[in-house]
Amino acid sequence: MSASPPTKDSPGEIDPRLLEVLVCPLTHGVLEYDAAGSELISRAARLAYPIRNGVPVMLPEEARTLEESEG
């Protein structure tokens, strides 16, 4: 059985299989997918990693710091 490549509806969309294996590079904790913001959220690190052209940018220096109201 062969799997077809995932389709992307928008540049920020990510393959769900990838989400199963990705973890925060700082805490090694789980990430939440925010489709509206095109980000992967690490609540433990209080960071939001951007998704650019369907590719998660897992560099802490590229991440956005979460505000108090976001967590």
What's the CATH number of domain 16-70, 1.10.238.10, 3.40.605.10, 2.170.130.30, 2.20.25.10? 2.20.25.10
C-alpha to C-alpha distance for 69 and 49, rounded to whole angstroms: 17
Residue 2 has pLDDT above 90, yes or no: no
The predicted model scores a pTM of 0.78
> Which residues fall within 8 angstroms of residue 44, CB to CB, at 6 or more apart?
24, 26, 27, 29
Which DSSP state fits 62?
G
- For residues 10 and 57, the model is more confident at 57
CA dihedral (9, 12, 18, 20) positive or negative: negative
Cβ contact 5:15 at 8 Å: no
